[in-house]
A and B are shown apart, each in its own frame.
Chain A
Amino acid sequence: MNNTTVFDNNSIWIFEQIYEPLFTVTNNGKGVRPYLATGYTMSSDKKTYTITLRHGIKFSNGKPMTSADVKFSIDQNRKATKGWAYLDSAISSVDAPSPDTVVIHLKFPWAPLLADLSIFANGIVPNNYDGQTENAFYQHPIGTGPFKWDYWHKGSALKLVRNPYYWQKGKPYLNSVTWTDVPNDNTRQLQLKGGQAQIDQTPAWSTVSQLQSTPGVHMFLFNSTQTNYMSFNEKVKPFQDVHVRRAISLAINRDALVKAVLFGHGKAANSLFPPQVPYYDPNTPGYQFNLAQAKAQMAQSSVPHGFTTTLLLPAGNSDYLTIGTILQSELKPLGITLKIQQLDPNTANTDQQNLKYDMTLTLWTMDIPDPDELATFAVDPKSGAQSFFTTYDNPTVVKDTHAAEQVTDPAKRQQLYNAVQTGAAQDAFMAFLYYSPYPYATTTNVHGFYVTPLGNMHMEDVWLSK
């Protein structure tokens, strides 16, 4: 439950009910709104942000939240050596000049600051962990959120109960929320139908249409920032050849993938960025299915007669296996023989990160309402992720990405990110496959349930009718 180091989505969405940040994502996922803060001012050199805190906020133990808690929380995230500290790397220091004011000093102008502050890793915890050690605190964490800790049966169920000191009066409406770990898609659906659960998180795509017509069930497809890609390892021949990458991208029928994998509930991807991300460019010329052009690119490549290659997949992922099977037939006209190698998920993940693969499937969901996190991760070979583990390196694209970080004028940022998206699309360093929504099924007595494009859910707004 350490919000500064955890990466799995389920843990994040749970502890977002416990800790809250100064700013939170808007419902359309494209901006931020004040949350524990009420507003901010920015200095003329854009390097100092003075943030005003909301009055009357208390932690779930009844103690008031002050700027000392905010300073401590942000400083803890900045120090986390194996976590999200990189998002706060532009911050040089945090001051707490008065109990309801926090001042953030930056090393340079930093456009994504408010978006970075909205991330769960910058959620506010008590100063000095309320006198506990870090490890002890995170066994029973305390925050300002609508719910507080009850129990966690590790790997099986976690329960939060209502925070009586919650700052939004009258909320939360629910007395408790329990997350249970039910790995089997069918069992989750049956729990919903049997009334044992009220929300099924990510039902199988094959069941979405059926759930849409099931009495007593409400099937939601929330806009998301999830994008699926196919990565090319440019350390492996012939993927350093842009014509090969373009040819493969052009040979992929994305509508067929959407139909086969998502059962029609998705859209072909045209850009590195998904549509719900600020500065997404709908005109990005991401390669779409065109077999003639694919063959023309192949003819210009270093392997005009084709080659044999391997697609690395995590075992047990039926969606990925479907994509792989479709790709095998779609790449045949180019003379490409595609072998599928399935490894257990942990091994596949490790091999991808160690660049021991030819091609692989991957995906991304946004953690902040700003493209900086994705852009840096995906196109900067020095980012630590080696350009999304592809080793792609286009100095112009990298330069534009970093320039956009320090420009606060939205029009200028749009221009720069348009160039990043176009450059990345033209280089085809990954094949952009499809955008998919977040599927959630609830019983019809659940009201107020909403999931933002970043996956956040405000459970304080949810209520049950009889």
Chain B
Amino acid sequence: MSFVARRLLQLVPVAVGVTIIVFFMIHLIPGDPARTILGIHATPKAIAELHREWGLNRPLISQYWLFLDRLLHGNLGQSLIYGVSASSLILQRLPATLWLIVYATVLAIVISVPLAMLAASRRNGLRDQIVRAVPLFGLGMPPFWVGFLLIYAFAIHWRIFPVSGYGVGIGGHLVSMFLPSLTVAIALAPVVIRSLRASMLSVLGADYITTARSKGVPGRRLFIKHVLRNAVIPAITVLGINIGFLIGGTVIIENVFAIPGVGQLMIQSIFQRDFPVVQGVTLVFAVLVVLINLLTDVAYATLDPRVRFDR
């Protein structure tokens, strides 16, 4: 069986494990979605009626089997708060989150690669010192603070970008999502720069690079075709792991920039005890993390022909 197919099959036990943990955890937290809907006007009769309507009066294990049975038929259940399918809510929000993740990754690469090359080309020189030190600010500053600084500068003062939101159409998304994606990229870049710089320096000391230089390969071509191509592999692993963390971290950025994504949906649903949506979003997050890890491994194999995962 091919490597990719095997890895995709691994999704199944991961998903089942996630459903068990999330289902029972969210039900263990005190708090009642019926009371969220009914507010302070809740009467015991009204609460009991909503519980009956939603099946929350059944034993927990029987609620779990019902959830699993629906899941096997592609049904994530119905939002207790909005009365629509949890999957439709998630699908509506997923594009915004995917935009954030992909756009932030692209920007992180655009920032990291040239800076790492700049640093590696003059080891321990002034450029190297600056490139190593300055991005650490991005690592140290809380993302929400970086976000607000960018908004003040580029949305309020210079009015180049909107303050928040997702925008309409591809052009609208590119403009509206630039600042939130840049906020994330500023946090991602320092780690990628340092990793890429370190592996570039390691590659620069290799015999084949010395051979290429002595054969007269120009500096730029040497860096891009020989050094970068070999040095990027460990950095891809670092990037892949951080994107996995980023998926959970979308909550903060989506909150600051009012992006209608899955992270924001998750927080709202937890507060409202909207069990089906919490379960659905957690499953989506788990699947995304597994897929990103898979993509990282595939990229690894693509860039390095020596790496083969098939037996």
Contacts and interface: CB of A to CB of B under 8 A. Distances in A.
B215 interface: no
- Which of B36, B165, B258, B265 has the most chain A CB within a 10 Å cutoff? B258
B245 interface: no
A399 B113 CA distance: 78
A193 interface: yes
A228 to B, nearest CB: 14
Contacts of B271: 344-346
B10 interface: no
A196 B31 contact: no
Q: Tell me the dominant secondary structure on chain B's binding face.
A: helix
Interface string A67-106: 0000000000000011110000000000000000000000
A7 B39 contact: yes
Interface in B263-298: 264-265, 268, 271-273
B262 to A, nearest CB: 11
A346 B32 CA distance: 7
Interface in B219-265: 255-258, 260, 264-265
Nearest to A152: B82
B196 interface: no
B152 A183 contact: no
Interface stretch (A30-38, A39-47, A184-192, A204-212): A184-192
A83 B93 CA distance: 30
A350 B39 CA distance: 9
Given A7-B37, A181-B258, A344-B31, A194 B49 contact: no
Given A154-B89, A196-B163, A187 B32 contact: no
Given A7-B38, A154-B82, A194-B162, A347 B30 contact: yes
Contacts of A157: 260
A190 B151 CA distance: 8
Contacts of B127: none
Contacts of B79: 154
Interface string A423-457: 00000000000000000000000000000000000
A384 B43 contact: yes
A156 B94 CA distance: 13
A343 B271 CA distance: 11
Contact of A346 (B35, B155, B255): B35
B156 A180 contact: no
A194 B41 contact: no
Given A8-B39, A345-B271, A346-B273, A196 B165 contact: yes
Interface in A314-357: 343-347, 349-351, 353
B42 interface: yes
A59 B56 CA distance: 38
A187 B256 contact: yes
A366 to B, nearest CB: 13
Contact of A196 (B82, B164, B264, B273): B164
B260 A81 contact: no
B46 interface: yes
A457 to B, nearest CB: 20
Contacts of B49: 81-82
Contacts of B265: 155
A443 B93 CA distance: 29
A305 interface: no
B40 interface: yes
Nearest to B47: A82
A132 interface: no
B43 A182 contact: no
Contact of B31 (A154, A194, A347, A385): A347
A187 B35 contact: no
Contacts of A466: none
A135 interface: yes
Contacts of A346: 30-33, 35-36, 271-273
A153 interface: yes
Question: Lowest 6 CB-CB distances: which A-B pairs, in order?
Answer: A346-B31, A156-B260, A82-B46, A7-B39, A194-B163, A182-B258
13 contacts: A8-B39, A81-B49, A82-B38, A155-B89, A155-B268, A180-B165, A191-B258, A193-B156, A344-B29, A346-B30, A350-B30, A353-B42, A385-B41
